[in-house]
Every structure is written in C-alpha cells, then in structure tokens.
Amino acid sequence: MSSDSDKYISLPDEIDYRVSDFYDMDEDLRNEEATRLYDEFSNSKKRYTDVSEIASGGMKRIFRAFDQKTARYVAMAELKEDMNEDAYAPFLAEARLTAALHHPNIIKIHDIDFNEDEKPYFTMDLKLGDSLADIVRKLNENQGDYRITYSLEKLLDIFIKICDAVSYSHSQGILHLDIKPENVQVGEYGEVLLCDWGLARFKEDTHKKETELLDNEFLNGQTVMGKVRGTPGFMAPEVIYDKKKRSEKSDIYSLGALLYSLLTRLPPLEGNTEDILLKTVKGEVVPPIKRSPELSIPNSLNAVVLKAMSLDKSERYSSVSSMAEDVKKFLYGFSTSAENAGLIKEISLFYKRNKLVSIISGISVLMLIVFILLLDNSRRKEKNLRQIAENNFQKYKSEKEVADLSLRDPSAVINELKEYYHANFLTKPKETLDYVMKMLERVKLSNKTAILLYEFKGDLHFVRQEFDLALLELKKGRGEFENRALFKALNSITDYKSDGKPAPVEVIKKLIKNLDGQYIEQFPRLLMYDKKIRTNPEEHVELVKSVFKAANKVPSLEKFEYDRNTKTLLISGNSDTFSFLYKMYNSHVSLFETLELDHLKLTNNKIFHAKRFYGLKLKTVDLRSIKLHSPRQVISQDVADRIIVSKDLIKPNVLEALKKNSEVIIQP
C-alpha cells in the first residue's frame, strides 16, 4: 500500500468520522466569495476609490466614490481645502444629526470618519436622478416628457413625502431650516430624499446659543456673516430678522414656498437677493394662481401655499402634518369635497365684511390687500365669480367640449371637474353633482389618475346616496386599508341597492351610526343633495337630526323639533357642534343649511360653545334658558341678526361682547 500511496491518495492513519458530514454538504457558493471578502476586508487600506466630484457648495464638496467595503457607489462629503479645523466640529455634527434621523425620505449616512489627510468626511446615499429643482426647471422649459412624468399628482405625492420627512424630524426635535427644491433628490424609481441638513438645528438651540450644534455660517455658501442664513425665497421672514425666532413654522413656510415652486414651476419670489428678502419680510407673495394663471392651479392648493407662507407665524399651519393633510385631501377627494364646498359663498362673504382681519387666518396679507381693493365693487366681483362658474358650466355643456374631454389629459380634466364641483355645489347641488358624474364617465383612464378618479366617483356616489356604487368605486381607489371606518360602515349596508331614489332614512341612519362619528363632515353635502331629491320633508328633518346627533356625539336629544311654517328649530339637550369648520377655506358649513332656518332656540344646553356655532346665518338665536358666563360663548355677527338672552343668566362682560356684534334682546 505504501508504494501505491505515491501514485494514489492514501487514507489518513486514523479515520476522522467528524468530517463525514462534508460528504454531501451543499457547497456554499458564497464560501469562495466570503473568503475573498475576508481577504479584501483584512487587506483593504483604502476604503473609497474611484472618487469624482459631483457637486460643490459654499463649504462642502460632494464626491461620488466607490466604497470597497460595501462594493457600491456612495456620495461623500468633504470640507473644502481652505476650511480650517474650526469647521470640523460643525461638519461632523451635521453628519451625526443626519445619521440620527431614520426615515425613508431622509438621506442616510453610511460612514463618518477622517481621511488619510486627517480631514473629516462622511458618506451617504448616492441617488441617481434629478433634484426637485432640476425637475421644476425642466417642467418650466417643457423638456422631454417631464410634464407627462411629473403630473400634478406626482408632484404632490413627492411633496407629501417631503412633508413626512420634515414632520418626522420635527418629532425628533430637529428643524431643517433649508428646505428648497435643490435639497430634495428624486430617484429614478420615484424615491424622494430630503438632503443637506447643514443648517439643521435642535429646537432647544434657539434659546441656548452656546449649545448650538452647527453654529458658524460656514455651511452654506449663500450665507453672509451676520445677515441671513438660508436660501432667500424659501426662508421664512422671521429667520431673516432673528434666527432665534426660528421654529417648526419656519420649515412650514419653506414647505409652502416649495409647493409654490412645484405649482408654478417658478421660484416663489423673484428679483435680486435684496428684493427677495424685502418681499419676504413684507409678505409680498404673489398667489400661485395669479403668478401662473395659464396652469389653472387649483384654488385649494393655492390656499395651502398662501396659508403656509403667511407672514404672521400664527396664521400658518400649526404642524407639517396638518399641511400635508390638506394636500392629501385635495389628492384623494373623499373628505375634502365637503371642505371645498362653500368657496364661492365664503369669498362673497369676504366682500361683505368690513372687519376682515379677524376672520381670514389662512390667507396672506397680500391677498388681503387684493381683497380690500376689490371691496368697492364687491357686488360686481361676486357676480363675476358666479359668472365664471356659469361660463365654465356652459363651456362644458358645449358638445364639442364634451367630446374633447376623452382626448384631454385626464389629470387636468379631473382637477377642473373637482374645482367646478366645489365651486357650484352649494348653489346647485343636484345639477352640479349629476353633471360632474356624467362627465367623469368620459374621462380617459390613466394609471396616474385612476385612483383619484375612482375616489372622486366614490365621493359623488356617496353624496348621491348610492352607497353600493360608492363602495364599488372606493374599492378600486386606495382601498380599505386607507379608509377602514368608511369601508366598515359601507359594508354594513350592502343589503341596500340604490335605485335612483333617495335611500331609506333607516339605511342612512345605520350608515351614520356605523361610521361612529367619522366622516361626519361628508354629511352636510349629502343633506344638501337629499334636500333636492327627497319628497318627504319629515324624513329630511329626521336625517338632519341624525347628522346633528352624530356630529355632537350624543345618542339622544330631549327635543329636536322643526316648525316649517315659522322656520324655527328647537333643540333641547347638550350639543356644541352646530357647523363644521372646513380648514381649507376656513369656511363654516351649517348643519342646518338645508332646513333654511330663521330661528333657532336652544334649551337645556350646558356646553354651548359659540365657536362651533359659526356660519349659521339666522334671524334669531334664542338662548334665554342658557347660562352665558364665558367669553367662549360670545356669538359673532354672522350667526344671527338678533340674539335673545336672559337677564339673569348672562354675565355683564359676555353681554357687552355680544352687543358689539349683534342686536341683543334681553328678556327677564
């Protein structure tokens, strides 16, 4: 055997049975790879290779570099050569702060370290694609198929993602303070990343200067020592005055400016830096609708921008999420539609009022000036607005337009129809709704707009009390996951099949009950439509009562009696919600809109709250049996011409305040 061993493989002296397992062990292909990797890791001295510069800012340079360890390209930030060691700490702090943010729409930091020259660097996601600024520019120049790729819906979707990122960072106590299109990367596959947190601050920092994380003006090229830090046009006015005033509201302003850019395809403010700063502090923002009239920017989005960019911080959105919410409502019509109702009404109200300032919280000062100028010929203007709506209506009615509808860009058509719907619903609920529904049938289906179309249809069917059809359409929209309560309630009444007649009161009551207080804002419009189609007025009153109870979250009321002859409603029992505030236009829609009330009498109500009473427009409100002790119970002028109160139950200060706004009748 020994002679053979030279030729053949010999057996070891001792058989090792432990290795038998290797006999049919699957050969792990990664093994070879792993071995090579170990080798690489233990030998690689230079982690980043193939470095090339892709961008350069004031103090930073950004490179594209191949990371040997992860074997992929990353973006690498370094300080410019001429930066001295004073810049190191803030530079590293920026990286650390960004690294602390874990959000799908916030750029990720991979590595923070010093290079061979002992200079700090950090690496982060490298995304191929455009910055939002590139996209806006290309949209403006109508390059390639950008206007097809980046429809209004797509842009709003991107915007909502940015809002999500900012909202998250605010929840972590961090302000971005340099939100602008240049700092948003949009990847090839629609990924959205908020980048460049170089100006970011912890909220607390605004008070304790010594702990400022990223002090110095070095991080941004546009920054001038002692002047401003940020990007003119996108930075909030208070930041220009005093950087200690910055807050979440400053980011909200910037988001408003960013949305402005997306809607108009233009920078929010124009001119040289000085002009822009001046316009910023004066609040001279040209409304997007006026800036780009040819783009037919939806009124509701125009309002979102102006509210976010209000000069007065308190008039801006209270949070990023509430701003995103309004944009979402525009995108996915369901609960929005009601909020949009009454636009025309609300605008006409502006003209009638003299004390505008107290009422308009969502509209910028500039808008105010415009309105004041218009005040003189307000009547005519109001008529004009009506006329425009009428004309649109006529325009759509022309046969040619109808035929063309199926050929036009579906996203534009849907937006126009939405606007038309909201502008006309209050004055002609049935005609408007039926007409819009008919038009929607002709809108061409496209991938981008399908969900919007289905949800819009679902919305309309709901108002028309075609709950089975509403469910059908909504299922094709975003689906059950996004609207659980709504689906649950609609599913509870699937026994009912719509037949073009008003739905039985019992069905609607069951729906309201199963919605459990949600989507109640949808019902004023349902009632308005109901008023037009239901022949039995008693049934209609019954529905109003159900909606009123649900809105007030009271299972029962002692009395809810309506006298049609005297147009008087008597409500006995605790209730404080009498109208809904629709945020988007700051308008109030009365729950009794359809009863055409003149007189409202409340008794036995301990929680009466005047603020939830706005928008009723009554002749008299009878509050004789209600204790009026608190300023929150002071009714403003537009609720009723006369208010009847009891001498014994009203406090002098409340009485004084009431008298300022309305005629007060004091009874013993």
Partner 1 sequence: MEDWNTRKSLLLRASNPNDHEAFEEFVYYYKNFINMVFSKLGVSESQSGDLRQDLLLKLWKDIGKFDSERKNSNFRGWLSVVIRHEVYRFYKKNKKENEALASVQLDSRSESEVDKIIEGEWKAYVTNLAITKLKEHFDGNAMEIFQMTLAGKSGTEIAEKLQMAENSVYVVRSRVKARFQSEVRQLRSYLEYES
Q: Between 20 and 56, whose beta carbon lies closer to partner 1?
A: 20
From the CB of residue 340, how many other CB atoms can be counted at a distance below 10 Å? 26
Q: Between 28 and 188, whose beta carbon lies closer to partner 1?
A: 28
Q: Between 25 and 407, whose beta carbon lies closer to partner 1?
A: 25
Q: How many Cα atoms within 13 Å fall on the side-chain side of residue 242?
A: 5
Q: Cβ of residue 110: shortest distance to partner 1, in angstroms? A: 22
Q: Between 35 and 384, whose beta carbon lies closer to partner 1?
A: 35
Per CB under 8 A, the segment of 36-44, 268-276, 435-443, 528-536 that binds partner 1 is 36-44
Q: Coil, strand or helix: which one is 330?
A: helix
Do the strands 129-131 and 60-67 form a parallel or antiparallel pair, or are they unpaired? unpaired
Site string for partner 1, 9-28 (x = CB under 8 A): xxxx--xxxxxx-xxxx-xx
| Residue labelled with tokens 């939830």 | 612
Q: What are the tokens at 142?
A: 């109508």
The stretches of 71-210 forming alpha helices (DSSP H) are 88-99, 132-140, 146-149, 152-171
Q: Cβ of residue 39: shortest distance to partner 1, in angstroms? A: 6
Closest among 275, 279, 243 to 260, alpha carbons compared: 279
The stretches of 150-247 forming alpha helices (DSSP H) are 152-171, 237-241
Q: Cβ of residue 2: shortest distance to partner 1, in angstroms? A: 12
Q: Cβ of residue 214: shortest distance to partner 1, in angstroms? A: 37
Q: Cβ of residue 26: shortest distance to partner 1, in angstroms? A: 9
State yes or no: residue 2 binds partner 1 (CB under 8 A).
no
State yes or no: residue 8 binds partner 1 (CB under 8 A).
yes
Amino acid found at 113: D
Q: Cβ of residue 7: shortest distance to partner 1, in angstroms? A: 6
State yes or no: residue 41 binds partner 1 (CB under 8 A).
yes
Q: Between 7 and 400, whose beta carbon lies closer to partner 1?
A: 7
State yes or no: residue 7 binds partner 1 (CB under 8 A).
yes
Do the strands 640-646 and 618-622 form a parallel or antiparallel pair, or are they unpaired? parallel
Q: Cβ of residue 20: shortest distance to partner 1, in angstroms? A: 4
Do the strands 663-667 and 640-646 form a parallel or antiparallel pair, or are they unpaired? parallel
State yes or no: residue 44 binds partner 1 (CB under 8 A).
no
Q: Between 43 and 272, whose beta carbon lies closer to partner 1?
A: 43
State yes or no: residue 69 binds partner 1 (CB under 8 A).
no
Q: Between 23 and 189, whose beta carbon lies closer to partner 1?
A: 23
Q: Coil, strand or helix: which one is 180?
A: coil
Q: What is d(CA 480, CA 53) in angstroms, rounded to the nearest whole number? A: 47
Closest among 593, 446, 569, 574 to 521, alpha carbons compared: 593
Per CB under 8 A, the segment of 4-12, 122-130, 411-419, 433-441 that binds partner 1 is 4-12
Q: How many Cα atoms within 13 Å fall on the side-chain side of residue 48?
A: 22
Q: Cβ of residue 36: shortest distance to partner 1, in angstroms? A: 10
- Tell me the backbone φ, ψ of residue 194, rounded to 5 degrees: -85, 125
State yes or no: residue 652 binds partner 1 (CB under 8 A).
no
For residue 77, give the H/E element and its range: strand 72-79
Per CB under 8 A, the segment of 8-16, 173-181, 406-414, 587-595 that binds partner 1 is 8-16
State yes or no: residue 207 binds partner 1 (CB under 8 A).
no
Q: Are 459 and 332 in contact (CB under 8 A)?
A: no
Q: What is d(CA 23, CA 9) in angstroms, rounded to the nearest whole number? A: 17
State yes or no: residue 32 binds partner 1 (CB under 8 A).
yes
Q: Between 31 and 314, whose beta carbon lies closer to partner 1?
A: 31
Q: What are the tokens at 541?
A: 């009153």
State yes or no: residue 1 binds partner 1 (CB under 8 A).
yes
Closest among 467, 482, 526, 472 to 338, alpha carbons compared: 526
Q: Which residues of 100-133 are buried (b: 16+ CB within 10 A; e: fewer)?
A: ebebebbbebbbbeeeeeeebbbbbbbbeebbbb
- Residues 303-322 binding partner 1 (CB under 8 A) are none
Q: What is d(CA 578, CA 520) in angstroms, rounded to the nearest whole number? A: 12
Site string for partner 1, 497-526 (x = CB under 8 A): ------------------------------
Q: Between 34 and 100, whose beta carbon lies closer to partner 1?
A: 34
Q: What is d(CA 234, CA 193) in angstroms, rounded to the nearest whole number? A: 18
State yes or no: residue 447 binds partner 1 (CB under 8 A).
no
- Tell me the backbone φ, ψ of residue 186, rounded to 5 degrees: -115, 115
Per CB under 8 A, the segment of 1-9, 65-73, 457-465, 499-507 that binds partner 1 is 1-9
Q: Cβ of residue 41: shortest distance to partner 1, in angstroms? A: 8
Q: Cβ of residue 8: shortest distance to partner 1, in angstroms? A: 5
Residues touching partner 1, count (CB under 8 A):
29
State yes or no: residue 34 binds partner 1 (CB under 8 A).
yes
Q: Between 42 and 358, whose beta carbon lies closer to partner 1?
A: 42
Do the strands 599-603 and 618-622 form a parallel or antiparallel pair, or are they unpaired? parallel
Q: Are 67 and 47 in contact (CB under 8 A)?
A: yes
Per CB under 8 A, the segment of 3-11, 180-188, 339-347, 465-473 that binds partner 1 is 3-11
Q: Between 38 and 241, whose beta carbon lies closer to partner 1?
A: 38
Q: Cβ of residue 188: shortest distance to partner 1, in angstroms? A: 37
Q: Are 461 and 469 in contact (CB under 8 A)?
A: yes
Q: Are 113 and 91 in contact (CB under 8 A)?
A: no
Q: Which parts of this chain interact with partner 1 (CB under 8 A)?
A: 1, 4, 6-12, 15-20, 22-25, 27-28, 31-32, 34-35, 38-39, 41-42
